[in-house]
Structure 1
Amino acid sequence: MKGQLLASALAVALLAGCQQAGQGDTQAATLSYPQTPTTDQIDDYFGTQVADPYRWLESDSPEVSRWVSEQKTLADDYLSAIPVRAELEKRITALWNYERFSAPYRRGDNIFYFRNDGLQSQSVLYVQDGPKGTARVLLDPNRLSGDGTVALSGTQVSNNGKVLAYGTSKSGSDWQQWQFMDVATGQPLADKLEWIKFSSASWDKDGKGVFYARYDAPKGGEALSGVNYNQKLYYHRMGTPQSQDQLVYQRPDHKDWGFGADVSEDGRYLLIYVSKGTDSRNRFFYKDLQKGGKVVELIPDLEASYSFIGHDGPVFYFETNLNAPKGKVVAIDTRSPAKANWKTLIPEGDNPISQVSLFNDQFLVLTMKDALSELKVHDLKGTYLRTVALPGKGSVSGLSGKRKSSEAYFSFASYIQAPSIYKLDMAQNSVSPYRQPVLAYNPDDFVSEQVFYRSKDGTKVPMMISYKKGIKLDGNNPTLLYAYGGFNIPLTPRFSSANIAWMERGGVYAVPNLRGGSEYGEAWHQAGMKEKKQNVFDDYFAAAEYLIQTGYTSPKKLGAYGRSNGGLLMGAALTQRPDLFAAVLPAVGVLDMLRFHKFTIGWAWTSEYGSADNAADFPYLYAYSPLHNVKKRAYPATMVMTADHDDRVVPYHSFKFAATVQADQQGPAPVILRIEHNAGHGAGKPTAMQIREASDIFAFLLKNMGETR
Structure 2
Amino acid sequence: MYPESRRADVVEDLHGHKIADPYRWLEDPDSDETRDWVRRQNEFSSAVLAKLPAREWFHQAMSAIVSRPRAGVPAYKAGWYFVSRNDGTKAQDTLYVAESLEELLAGGRVLIDPNELSEDGTDSLSSYSVSDDGRYVVYGISESGSDWNRLQLVDLTTGDELDDKITETKFSAATWLPDSSSYLYLYYPTTGLAEGTDTSKLSGAQLKLHRVGTPQADDELVLEFPENPQLVMFPKVSDDDRYVVVHIAEGTAHSNRLWFYPITTVNGRSSLGEPVKTIDEPVAETTFVRMAGGRAILSTDLDAPRRRLVSCLITDGPVVFEQVVPEGESQLQFALGAGDGLVTVSLDDALPVVELHALDGSNSRRIDVAGGALVGINAKPGVDEVFVGLSSLTAPVEASVVSATTGEVRRLPELVPTTSTDFVPPEITVTRASAPSKDGTPVPYFLVTRADLDYAEPRPTLLYGYGGFKVPLVPDYRPGWSAWLAAGGVLVLANLRGGGEFGSEWYDAGRLDRKQNVFDDFIGVAEELQRTGVTTAAQLAIHGRSNGGLLVGAVMTQRPELFAAALPCVGVMDLLRFHKFTIGAAWASDYGRPDDEADFRTALAYSPLHNLEPGTSYPPTLVMTADHDDRVVPLHSHKFTAALQHAQAGDNPVIARIEVDAGHGMGKPLAMVASEWADLLAFAAGYTGLRPTEA
Fold conserved (TM > 0.5)? Answer: yes
Aligned position for 2:5: 36
Q: Which runs of 5+ in 2 are unaligned?
A: 266-271
Farther off after superposition, 465-474 or 72-81: 465-474
* 1:623 counterpart (605, 629, 632): 605
Give the structure 2 partner of residue 326 of structure 1. Answer: 306
Residue 434 of structure 1: CA displacement? 1.2
Query: Aligned letter for 2:24?
Result: R
The equivalent residue for 2:89 is 119
2:238 to 264, 275, 280: 264
1:55 aligns with 2:35: no
1:638 alignment partner, one of 604, 616, 621: 621
Per the alignment, residue 346 of structure 1 pairs with 325
Quick one: which of 310, 321, 336 aligns to 1:357?
336
- Please tell me whether residue 410 in structure 1 is matched to residue 388 in structure 2: yes
Residues 467 and 498, structure 2, Cα contact 8 Å, conserved in 1 = yes
Q: Match for 2:398: what amino acid? A: S
Q: 1:687 aligns with which of 660, 670, 674?
A: 670
- 1:660-692 Cα offsets, whole Å, 9 max, x none, are 110111021100011000011111111110000
Q: How do 1:123-134 and structure 2 match up within 5 A?
A: 123-133=93-103
SS, match of residue 506 in structure 2: helix
Distance in 2, Cα, partners of 1:169 & 1:418: 22
Matched residue, 1:105? 75
SS at match of 1:634: coil
Q: What is the SS of the residue equivalent to 1:697?
A: helix
- The equivalent position to 2:263 in structure 1, one of 267, 289, 302, is 289
Q: Do the aligned partners of 1:224 and 1:600 also contact (CA within 8 Å) in 2?
A: no
Residues 649/223 of structure 1: CA separation in 2 closer, same or farther (3 Å cut): farther
* Structure 2 counterpart of 1:426, one-letter code: A
Shift of 1:409: 1.0
Deviates more, 1:452-461 or 1:617-626: 452-461
Listed as ranges, the matches of 1:417-428 within 5 Å are 417-428=395-406
Provide the rounded CA distance (Å) in 2 between the counterparts of 1:249 and 1:301.
17
In structure 1, what is the Cα distance between the partners aligned to 2:5 and 2:630? 24
Report if aligned partners of 1:277, 1:603 keep a CA contact under 8 Å in 2: yes
Alignment CA distance shift 1:480-1:382 (3 Å): same
Q: CA contact under 8 A between 1:361 and 1:380: conserved in structure 2?
A: yes
Deviates more, 1:265-274 or 1:600-609: 265-274
State the AA in 2 paired with 1:124: T
CA offset at residue 423 of structure 1? Answer: 1.6
Identity rate of aligned residues, in percent?
A: 39
Aligned to 1:21: none
Which of 374, 388, 393 pairs up with 1:396? Answer: 374
Q: Secondary structure at the match of 2:412?
A: strand
CA shift, 1:335, in A, is 4.1
Alpha-carbon distance change, 226 to 76 in structure 1, aligned in 2, over 3 angstroms:
farther
Work out whether 1:569 is the aligned partner of 2:548: no
Q: For residues 434 and 707 of structure 1, do their structure 2 counterparts lie closer, same or farther at Cα, with a shift above 3 Å needed?
A: closer
CA offsets per residue over residues 487-525 of structure 1, 9 Å max, x none?
Answer: 000012211332112111111111011000110101110
SS in 1 for 2:199: coil
Match of 1:275 among 237, 244, 249: 249
Q: What 5-or-longer segments of structure 1 have no aligned partner?
A: 1-31
Please give the alpha-carbon distance, in whole angstroms, between the structure 2 residues aligned to 1:55 and 1:223: 14
Q: How much has 1:255 moved relative to structure 2?
A: 2.0
Alignment correspondent of 2:269: none
Displacement, 1:86?
1.9
Q: Distance in 2 between matches of 1:335 and 1:599?
A: 39
Instruction: Confirm or deny: 8 A CA contact 1:475 1:554 kept in the other structure.
Output: no
Q: Is the counterpart of residue 249 in structure 1 residue 223 in structure 2?
A: yes
Deviation of residue 170 (structure 1)? 1.0
8 Å contact kept, 1:225–1:647: no
Greater shift in the superposed pair: 55-64 or 280-289: 55-64
- In 1, the alpha carbon distance for the partners of 2:660 and 2:75 equals 35
Spell out the pairing of 1:85-96 with structure 2 (5 A cutoff): 85-96=55-66
For 1:541 and 1:156, locate their aligned partners in 2 and report how far apart those are by CA, in whole Å: 43
Counterpart of 1:215 in structure 2 is 188
Question: What is the Cα deviation at residue 195 of structure 1?
Answer: 1.5
Aligned mates of 2:183, 2:314 — CA distance in 1:
24
2:330 and 2:354 map into 1 onto residues whose CA distance is 11
Taking the TM superposition and a 5 Å limit, the aligned residue runs for 1:589-668 are 589-632=571-614, 633-668=616-651
Specify the code of the residue in structure 2 equivalent to 1:650. Answer: V
Distance 2:229 2:197 in 1: 19
* Greater relative CO, 1 or 2 (CA 8 Å, sep 6+): 1
Kindly tell me: are residues 567 and 221 of structure 1, through their superposed partners in 2, closer, same or farther at Cα, counting changes over 3 Å? farther
Once the two structures are TM-superposed, the CA of residue 223 in structure 1 deviates from its matched residue by 9.6
Greater shift in the superposed pair: 673-682 or 375-384: 375-384
Shift of 1:441: 5.4
| Alignment-mate amino acid for residue 427 of structure 1 | T
Whether 2:428 is the aligned partner of 1:449: answer: no
- 1:174 and 2:156 matched: no
CA distance in 2, matches of 1:585, 1:189: 45
Are the counterparts in 2 of residues 211 and 262 from structure 1 also a CA contact under 8 Å? no
2:449 aligned to 467, 472, 491, which one? 467
Task: Give the Cα–Cα distance (whole angstroms) in 2 for the partners of residues 401 and 89 of structure 1.
Answer: 39
Partner of residue 268, structure 2: none
Distance 2:55 2:197 in 1: 32
How far apart, in 2, do the equivalents of 1:62 and 1:463 lie? 45
Letter in structure 1 aligned against 2:60? K
Q: Secondary structure at the match of 1:604?
A: helix
Q: Give yes or no for the alignment of 1:500 onto 2:482.
A: yes
SS in 1 for 2:650: coil
* Corresponding residue to 1:66 among 30, 36, 42: 36
Deviations 1:591-647 (A, max 9, x none): 011110011100001121112211111211111111110002111100111110111
User: Helix, strand or coil for the counterpart of 1:623?
Assistant: helix
Equivalents in 2 of 1:453, 1:592: separation in Å? 29
1:165 to 122, 134, 138: 138
CA distance in 1 between counterparts of 2:182 and 2:318 reads 33
Q: Matches of 2:647 and 2:318 in 1, distance apart?
A: 59
TM-superposed CA distance for 1:108, in Å, is: 2.8
Asked if structure 2 preserves the Cα contact closer than 8 Å seen for 1:34 and 1:70, the reply is yes
The separation in 2 between residues aligned to 1:530 and 1:131, in whole angstroms, is 47
Deviation at 1:442, TM superposition (A): 5.4
After the TM superposition, which of the residue ranges 305-314 and 656-665 deviates more from structure 2? 305-314
SS in 1 for 2:657: strand
For 2:421 and 2:495, locate their aligned partners in 1 and report how far apart those are by CA, in whole Å.
28
- Check the 8 A contact 1:623/1:629 in 2, yes or no: yes
Considering only aligned residues, what root-mean-square deviation do their CA atoms show, in Å?
A: 1.9
Residue equivalent to 1:523: 505
Q: 2:48 aligns with which of 78, 99, 102?
A: 78
Partner-residue secondary structure (3-state), 1:324: coil
Q: Does 1:547 align with 2:526?
A: no
SS at match of 1:290: strand
Q: Identify the range of structure 1 (247-256 vs 144-153) with the bigger mean alpha-carbon deviation.
A: 247-256
Q: Secondary structure at the match of 2:283?
A: coil
- Whether the 8 Å CA contact 1:173–1:680 is kept in 2: the answer is yes
Partner of 2:122: 149
Contact 1:225–1:650 (Cα < 8 Å) also in 2: no
In structure 1, how many angstroms separate the alpha carbons of the residues matched to 2:471 and 2:226?
29
> In 2, distance between residues paired with 1:63 and 1:221?
21
Number of residue equivalences: 676
**Which structure 2 residues correspond to residues 227-242 of structure 1 after superposition, within 5 A?**
227=200, 228-242=202-216
Q: Is the 8 A contact 2:26 2:34 kept in 1?
A: yes
Q: Which residue number corresponds to residue 372 of structure 1?
A: 351
**Amino acid in structure 1 at the alignment position of 2:6:** P
CA distance in 2, matches of 1:677, 1:98: 25
